[in-house]
């Protein structure tokens, strides 16, 4: 299959774009990298150069902590794959497995999720599971530390429980085991047998959970853990600074300068994290503070309470050919008014920035901007506003919601 055919195949199956199978978007091909290990600052600088040389220079971190490079063509995609290999950046393929952030560095974690993730990945590869499961099926290994996987849409989650590992399927606790890998593999086999497009919630809706937890010991619910990566996090040695990229995006030049500054202050890793963030460390306390000051001045988000954290927006016009309006200018205008309400500004119904529900969604349609309350870009809007009246109308909606 050639690159174009592979991309079309990805779109048809709702697949996740990867390095070998990028996805066609409004601004060219998009390649998503699931990193197997944090980047060194030098690798981040090299990746920034690749983003500029092979694509349009835009680098993104997704809500699940993957990196994306945009604006590629077929030749650029091939050069990117070569360049990533030459930089020694390890990329995970196969079954989607997420681990909690700062794995191996978090003194609050009950176990190192990377070891379990590696054992599961190897067993899933041997069983050929990825090819038999829906592309978005994902397993989370939550070490139970400072930055958990709570809130993620995981088909299966493994987390620490007294005397073993808690197993959840579709958000429902199934029980506890001391041997999680065979249990997770058996659940994935059940899911694959149910259908190649099925998610765990589909299987549970059809068959219930009673038989899924057979052989497991009782376990309580997972303790809620903070999942906000932005801020300062104490490591076993030193600190990690978590900062978020406005709308999950940074220009290649900005990433290179950030990585250079991190290296200058002594950091050894830059880890993409869920919530469109980068965790940078280990740093001495004074250096972490210095980096926070520098990054804040550079327009990055360094405080969890920053209003931009509540607003999602896709690249919009003019970056994306499918967009009906300039999403991010409007999103910045609305950020200060959101006050705890989630806002999603989407250039079209595809909803790339946030496929889920938001308190207020504004979506570009052929006939104007659709306003959706407590829904997604694909829902029927409660009203449609002409684009030249959109900013005023959206501000009035948020102001009236504040009372």
**Residues in contact with ligand SF4 by the rule CB under 6 A:** 25-26, 314-316, 320, 322-323, 346-348, 350-352
Phi then psi for 204, rounded to 5 degrees?
Answer: -65, -40
Cα separation of 285 and 233, whole Å?
Answer: 10
* Shortest CB 314 distance to ligand SF4, Å: 3
* Shortest CB 361 distance to ligand SF4, Å: 11
Closer by beta carbon to ligand SF4, 77 or else 327: 327
* Shortest CB 309 distance to ligand SF4, Å: 19
SS (H, E, C) the chain: CCHHHHHHHHHHHCCCCCCCCCEEECCEEEEEECECCCECHHHHHHHHHHHHHHCCCEEEECCCCCEEEEEECHHHHHHHHHHHHHCCCCECCCCEEEECCCCCCCCCCCCCHHHHHHHHHHHHHHHCCHHHCCCCCEEEECCCCCCCCCCCCCCEEEEEECCEEEEEECCEEEEEECCHHHHHHHHHHHHHHHCCCCCHHHHHHHHCCCCCCCCCECCCCCCCCCCCCCEEEECCCCEEEEEECHHHEEEHHHHHHHHHHHHHCCCCEEEEECCCEEEEEEECHHHHHHHHHHHHHCCCECCCCCHHHHEEECCCCCCCCCCCCCHHHHHHHHHHHHCCCCEEEECCCCCCCCCCCEEEEEEEECCEEEEEEEECCCCCCCEEECHHHHHHHHHHHHHHHHC
Closer by beta carbon to ligand SF4, 96 or else 315: 315
Closer by beta carbon to ligand SF4, 26 or else 238: 26
Closer by beta carbon to ligand SF4, 68 or else 177: 68
Closer by beta carbon to ligand SF4, 29 or else 161: 29
Cα separation of 248 and 62, whole Å?
Answer: 6
Closer by beta carbon to ligand SF4, 39 or else 331: 331
* Shortest CB 321 distance to ligand SF4, Å: 7
* Shortest CB 12 distance to ligand SF4, Å: 16
Closer by beta carbon to ligand SF4, 17 or else 238: 17
Position with the least CB separation from ligand SF4: 347
Closer by beta carbon to ligand SF4, 65 or else 377: 377
* Shortest CB 345 distance to ligand SF4, Å: 9
Closer by beta carbon to ligand SF4, 201 or else 357: 357
* Shortest CB 233 distance to ligand SF4, Å: 31
* Shortest CB 74 distance to ligand SF4, Å: 20
* Shortest CB 347 distance to ligand SF4, Å: 3
> What's the N-to-C CA distance of the chain in angstroms?
57
Beta carbons of 267 and 281 less than 8 angstroms apart: yes
Residues in the chain: 403
């Amino acid at each position: 299959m050639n690159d174009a055919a592979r991309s079309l195949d990805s779109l048809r199956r709702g697949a996740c774009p990867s390095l070998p199978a990028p996805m066609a978007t409004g601004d060219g091909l998009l390649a998503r990298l699931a990193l197997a290990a944090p980047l060194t600052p030098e690798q981040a600088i090299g990746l920034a150069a690749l983003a500029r040389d092979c694509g349009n220079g835009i680098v993104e971190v997704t809500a699940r902590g993957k990196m994306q490079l945009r604006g590629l063509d077929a030749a650029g995609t091939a050069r990117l794959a070569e360049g990533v290999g030459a930089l020694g950046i390890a990329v995970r393929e196969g079954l989607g497995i997420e681990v909690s952030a700062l794995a191996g560095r978090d003194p609050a974690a009950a176990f190192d999720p990377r070891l379990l993730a590696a054992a599961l990945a190897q067993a899933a590869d041997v069983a050929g599971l990825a090819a038999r499961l829906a592309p978005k099926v994902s397993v989370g290994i939550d070490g139970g530390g400072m930055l958990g996987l709570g809130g993620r849409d995981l088909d299966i989650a493994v987390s620490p429980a007294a005397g073993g590992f808690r197993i959840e399927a579709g958000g429902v606790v199934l029980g506890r085991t001391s041997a999680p890998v065979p249990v997770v593999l058996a659940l994935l086999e059940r899911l694959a047998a149910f259908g190649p497009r099925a998610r765990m919630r589909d299987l549970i809706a059809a068959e219930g959970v009673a038989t899924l937890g057979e052989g497991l010991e009782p376990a309580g619910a997972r303790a809620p853990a903070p999942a906000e990566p932005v801020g300062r996090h104490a490591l076993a040695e030193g600190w990690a600074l978590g900062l978020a990229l406005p709308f999950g995006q940074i220009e290649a030049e900005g990433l290179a300068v950030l990585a250079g500054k991190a290296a200058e202050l002594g950091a050894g890793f830059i880890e993409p994290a869920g919530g469109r963030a980068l965790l940078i460390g280990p740093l001495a306390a004074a250096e972490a503070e210095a980096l926070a000051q520098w990054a804040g001045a550079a327009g990055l988000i360094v405080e969890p309470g920053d209003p931009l954290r509540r607003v999602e927006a896709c690249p919009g016009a003019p970056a994306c050919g499918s967009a009906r309006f300039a999403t991010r200018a409007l999103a910045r205008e609305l950020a200060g008014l959101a006050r705890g309400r989630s806002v999603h500004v989407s250039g079209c119904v595809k909803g790339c920035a946030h496929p889920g529900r938001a308190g207020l969604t504004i979506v570009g349609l052929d006939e104007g901007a659709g306003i959706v309350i407590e829904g997604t870009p694909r829902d029927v809007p409660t009203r449609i506003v002409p684009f030249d009246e959109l900013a005023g109308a959206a501000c009035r909606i948020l102001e009236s919601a504040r009372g």
